[in-house]
A and B are shown apart, each in its own frame.
Chain A
Amino acid sequence: MSLAEEYTETSDNSRLERGLAYVQRNSRAYLLIAPAAVFLLAVVGYPIIETFRLSLYQSPADSNIETFVGLQHYVEIFNSDIFYRLLWQTGRWVVAGVAGKTLLGLLIAVHLKGDIRGRKFFRTAFLIPWGIPYAISAVVFRWIEHPQFGYLNAILLKLGIIEQGIGILGNPSLAWLGVVVADIWIGTPFMAIIFLAGLQSIPQELYEAAAIDGAEKWHQFRYITLPQLKSVVLIATLLSTIWTFVSFDVIWTMTGGGPISSTATLVIHIYQVGLQNGNLGRGAAYSVIGFLFLFVFAIIYLRIYTRGGDEL
């Protein structure tokens, strides 16, 4: 046996031994977390598997009979106009919501990092929207935008800008904007806090050096702040995209997906089909599709993140 082979074998053995020794040393810890791990598998893993199984069956609301239909639900969904309209409406909702939250969050974070009066107050105040349950915020916005009882219309009427109340949430062309505004209001504090933390981790020396070199504020932001903040932005927008995609409370509370289904997203449709109308099989198929969308999106996003590219 050559020296190299002897070394490799010794190394492998010792690695295995080290591994076993590590497990033995920490056996109590593994035992302690085992129940939690099993519990998580049961409550996270099982529903996902069961959802996929359900999606292969016909489960109408008025029957206990489950008929195996294979991929029929998926074929019908992909052949339906509703699905593509839902994709468009979901995409519009996610892109507008995440973009709004990101830009506003960044704007707020940049200002809160500066030495402004009442900085502590504003930092606390900006957290309030995030601390209010989504459904309550949605109810508040529904009332704000209500054509007869809402503040928004009352102010516009007082100012003489309009002659009668505008029903934003009742307008099939405008309703989604009315809902997105509420979602942005709710989600912006999270982004602001994350960005603020990121901004505070950027070495001040970089800005000082840039200032000495004569860089304007905008150039400092463009060439120092944004690149330094890249990883924070990627993670924050990834999380925000997932949360916005699966968001239910705001739309359901404000519009119920209407009018004429103009604010319905994939998630709202899943609820309507699966739980309201009792077609569990079809609802499960939509859920699996939504899950796969998010899964693929997250993988692509994280690959970009880990590759260290310069997409920003």
Chain B
Amino acid sequence: MQPDNNDRSVEDSIDRRRLLQALGAGGAIAIAGCSGDGGSGSDGGEGDSESGGDGGDGGTQSVQFLTMGVGDNIKQFFEENNAAFEDEHDVDVEFTSVTWDNARQTVNNRVDGGEAPDVSRWPARWIPQLVGKNALEPLDGMMDGEFGEQFYDGVAEGTMYNGSHYGVPWAASNKCLYYNKDVFEAAGLDPEDPSLDSWQDMLDAATQIRDSDGSVPALGLAGADAIETGSQYYHYHWSHGADLVNDEGMPVVNSSGAVDALSLYTDLHLEHNVTQSSPLSSTRQDIRQLFENGDLGMVIGHVYTGLNITAAKENGDVDFDYGIVQVPRGPEGRYSLFTIDTLAILSQSEHKDLARDLIRFYFDEERRFQYSKEKGFLPVVEAVGERSYFSESKNWGPFVEAGQYARARPKLSNFSEFNDRMVQAIQEALADRKSPQKALNDAQSDLEDAME
């Protein structure tokens, strides 16, 4: 997908040393032959406006709005609403969208280069790192008042770090377990009452599917070298009473519950043989695609998996029925990985009032409804979530219900590094290179070193 740039050449009043440093960092990678992504601000191209933001046309103030992953399904939403905001406030919205692949690097380069946007959307898990850079403006003033009361409590808490709100919840997503009713029926399972309450139930059903036919893998398991492998596995981890970090923020990934969880995850493939072949080759997207094609019995997925299948069925591309149940419970409970994206104001912004106006504008209830509906993210505003469109929908209903089991990843400044190490441990166990205990012990040791 292409970034929708409204690039404009503007005077810059940036910290040159910081910009050069960011360019230098790009140079480091240029030496290594991968400078394509390294350009400072190359995705945006807009500098901070001269003396705080004249838009270059002699008088109109401008506000820079950076977001990620604006695809064709939602592009028009932003175009129309940005135009409406421009008319309403007589300002110029410099809107930039970058792909998720480039998002983190773009944000860091722009912040480090002194060219931060005024308003930006990003995952809540990035907040600690950006707070560490003093890059974010606390938004307690907004969130503690009437404006903040419109959000679900859990969602609002997701934007907090060190006791302050550093963002406004923009979007949320969680997961449920999908199952293919046709596959269940063919295996002699009841498609209307699948009995998938626990991991053991899921394994029993998967075993029956495996033994009945074998033409379709019973369960999708992610194991590729990607961040999402962790996000698929953490359901197992948490439901066995294991955690990732303790209250002091130190790693605790090798508890006995964690070993049980990883043992279950790997046994699904190595011992029970109920997964697709070679989970280590499969990303979360791969197994979702398999399920959406009708070539998989079960998968843990987002709401848009169901929306995609519904659309594909309407187009005549696929013809199978599916059901959605909660992610199975483990010995210590049931969890659904909760991801929150926030809208934040950058400390470098010289138009913070305008930035607040832009945020308030986008939290008009009708706009929020349109956004959640078109984008396929859970509503973050209670009034929107209570609308029948969501609460009574076959696709949305289970995900709204799953809100009560929601759990987010820990907020760590180096979570990316943390997650990479966890994915490596998962892979080592899945490849049968190490026992789950050994894989997690090694991960614990490395993570302790990394977090010293």
Contacts and interface: CB of A to CB of B under 8 A. Distances in A.
A50 to B, nearest CB: 3
Interface string A272-312: 10111110100110010011000000000000000000000
A283 B104 CA distance: 16
A44 to B, nearest CB: 9
Contact of B225 (A164, A257, A267, A278): A257
Given A51-B24, A170-B279, A171-B278, A148 B286 contact: yes
A48 B23 CA distance: 10
Interface stretch (A29-37, A59-67, A225-233): A59-67
Interface string A145-173: 01111000000000000001111111110
Contacts of A271: 29, 32, 34
Contacts of A274: 25, 28-29
A109 interface: no
- Most A-side CB within 10 Å, residue of B24, B129, B286, B427: B24
A247 B33 contact: yes
A167 B269 CA distance: 13
A10 B218 CA distance: 92
Contacts of B417: 277
B28 A284 contact: yes
Contacts of A54: 21, 24-25, 28
Given A47-B30, A287-B29, A287-B31, A256 B280 contact: no
Helix, strand, loop or mixed for chain B's interface?
helix
Given A47-B27, A54-B28, A275-B25, A64 B279 contact: no
Nearest to A257: B225
Contacts of B295: 148
A240 to B, nearest CB: 13
Contacts of A123: none
Interface in A162-220: 164-172
B108 interface: yes
Given A61-B413, A62-B413, A169 B132 contact: no
A257 B281 CA distance: 12
A291 B32 CA distance: 7
Interface stretch (A15-23, A95-103, A258-266): A258-266
A241 interface: no
A280 B129 CA distance: 14
A137 interface: no
Contacts, number: 174
B104 A266 contact: no
Contact of B28 (A164, A276, A280): A280
Given A166-B278, A275-B38, A61 B223 contact: no
Interface residues of B, number: 53
Given A171-B280, A247-B33, A271-B34, A287 B224 contact: no
Interface string B326-341: 0000000000000000
Nearest to B22: A280
Contacts of A147: 276-278, 281-282
A203 B32 CA distance: 40
Interface in A64-108: 64
Contact of A291 (B24, B31, B224): B31
A276 B286 contact: no
Interface string B174-189: 0000000000000000
Contact of A259 (B105, B112, B431): B431
A50 B224 CA distance: 35
Contacts of B282: 147-148, 167, 170
B431 A53 contact: no
Nearest to B290: A148
Contacts of A58: none
A95 B134 CA distance: 46
Interface in B119-149: 128-134
A288 to B, nearest CB: 8
Contacts of A275: 25, 29, 37-38, 105
A127 interface: no
Contact of A260 (B27, B130, B134, B428): B428
Contacts of A247: 33
Given A63-B132, A147-B277, A147-B281, A256 B28 contact: no
A243 to B, nearest CB: 8
Contacts of B23: 46-47, 50
B26 interface: yes
B159 interface: no
Contacts of A260: 424, 427-428, 431, 433
Contacts of B383: none
Contact of A62 (B34, B129, B225): B129
Contact of A47 (B31, B280, B420): B31
- Most A-side CB within 10 Å, residue of B30, B104, B278, B423: B278
B414 interface: yes
B28 A146 contact: no
B160 to A, nearest CB: 17
A245 B34 CA distance: 11
Contact of A276 (B32, B104, B281): B104
Contacts of B128: 62
B28 A172 contact: no
Given A54-B21, A147-B278, A171-B278, A278 B431 contact: no
B34 A267 contact: yes
A290 B32 contact: yes
9 contacts: A61-B413, A62-B129, A164-B277, A172-B431, A259-B225, A260-B424, A271-B32, A271-B34, A275-B29
The 6 A-B pairs with the shortest beta carbon distances in the complex, nearest first, are: A47-B27, A167-B278, A258-B225, A246-B33, A50-B24, A170-B281
Interface of B: 20-21, 23-34, 37-38, 104-105, 108, 112, 128-134, 223-226, 276-282, 286, 289-290, 295, 413-414, 416-417, 420, 423-424, 427-428, 431, 433
